[in-house]
């Protein structure tokens, strides 16, 4: 496989083909399926992850759910199953609702599969274009060749295209504006050291992996020019939910007077969510903290607090990059 050939998901021959990210970075394992329940399970266990990617996968899964059985009850059951997999990322609900609107507008459910698939393909293609545009708009945040810190994974493995924050890094690197990317390892599932490092290496971008808790020391030493992350849901006022640890970075940036940016498509903006206090935060299994790659690493009887996300207040966000450009505070993302 060539360096540029890896991908998160694609649709071919009436099947979704996706990379099972739980096997990375040691194995690129791709799974092909036409079973929506297999896709739902993959989203739930983070084999497919990243807000835009799970929205796209959910859309394909809902279309596949009616390929053979297209009754309203079967559609509704598939919709609810997929919706329940990840509660925080709004892209999933948005994509499922796009297909729901198509389904409810059909006069004959016999054509449901083709109509829903057409909408799912359009959502995927739209995300590819949005990723490209975020990369272009993100160039405006660079005033000189810079050292950048990022958190979690925001590249191809998280989207249908080149990424959100990662697309900005990629485009900036091609323009000679990246001297180094520091990638937080991103506890507890190590999306940074497993996935972002993989993508940075494949894309030929200079990088260094660091423990999440080492970011402060880099900033205090004057070694970071800016921080950029993605987001899984952005409230009307600009509060943004992202992988847990993002809020901590934003606080550190404010203290050290370092710009903190978020890159996310408008499908991540939630016009029905006034503030970050209204964003549901997914709590995940204690096993993710007590084990690493299946090996116990902590006292087995320990109680665990394992939120998948935290919310960064809008007041700490220097700017938000979408496919529409660079948004500056004060934020108001009402439609």
Residue corresponding to tokens 């016009």: 271
CA distances from 65 to 51, 60, 71 (A): 21, 9, 10
Q: Enter the tokens of residue 83.
A: 């919706």
SS3 (DSSP) at 3: helix
Q: Which of 212, 225, 232, 270 is catalytic?
A: 232
Biggest CA pair distance of the chain: 64
- Going by C-beta distance under 8 Å and a sequence separation of 6 or more, which residues neighbour residue 244? 307, 308, 309, 310
What kind and span of H or E run contains 9?
A: strand 9-12
Q: How far apart are the first and last CA of the chain?
A: 42
Q: Enter the tokens of residue 292.
A: 């690493």
Catalytic, 232? Answer: yes
SS3 (DSSP) at 182: strand
Are the beta carbons of 282 and 87 closer than 8 angstroms?
yes
SS3 (DSSP) at 55: helix
Catalytic residues: 232
């Amino acid at each position: 496989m060539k360096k540029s050939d890896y991908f998160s998901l694609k649709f071919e021959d009436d099947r979704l083909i996706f990379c099972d990210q739980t096997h990375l970075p040691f194995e690129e394992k791709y799974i092909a399926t036409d079973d929506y329940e297999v896709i739902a399970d993959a989203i739930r266990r983070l084999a497919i992850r990243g807000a835009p990617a799970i929205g796209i996968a959910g859309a394909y899964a809902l279309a596949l759910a009616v390929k053979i059985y297209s009754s309203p009850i079967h559609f509704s059951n598939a919709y609810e199953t997929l919706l329940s997999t990840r509660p925080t990322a709004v892209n999933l609900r948005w994509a499922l609702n796009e297909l729901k609107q198509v389904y409810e507008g059909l006069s004959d459910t016999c054509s449901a599969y083709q109509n829903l698939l057409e909408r799912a393909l359009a959502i995927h293609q739209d995300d590819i274009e949005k990723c490209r545009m975020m990369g272009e708009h993100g160039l405006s945040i660079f005033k000189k060749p810079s050292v950048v810190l990022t958190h979690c994974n925001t590249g191809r493995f998280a989207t249908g295209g080149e990424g959100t924050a990662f697309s900005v890094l990629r485009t900036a690197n091609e323009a000679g504006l990246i001297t180094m990317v520091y990638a937080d390892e991103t506890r507890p599932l190590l999306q940074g050291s497993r996935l972002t490092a993989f993508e940075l290496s494949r894309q030929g971008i200079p990088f260094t992996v660091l423990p999440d808790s080492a970011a402060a020391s880099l900033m205090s030493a004057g070694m970071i020019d800016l921080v950029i992350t993605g987001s899984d849901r952005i409230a009307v006022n600009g509060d943004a939910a992202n992988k847990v640890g993002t809020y901590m970075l934003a606080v550190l940036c404010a203290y050290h007077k370092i710009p903190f940016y978020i890159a996310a498509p408008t499908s991540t903006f939630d016009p029905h969510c006034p503030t970050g206090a209204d964003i549901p935060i997914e709590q995940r299994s204690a096993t993710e903290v007590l084990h690493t790659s299946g090996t116990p690493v902590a006292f087995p009887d320990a109680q665990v607090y394992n939120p998948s996300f935290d919310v960064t207040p809008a007041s700490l966000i220097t700017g938000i990059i979408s496919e529409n450009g660079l948004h500056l505070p004060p934020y108001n993302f009402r439609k």
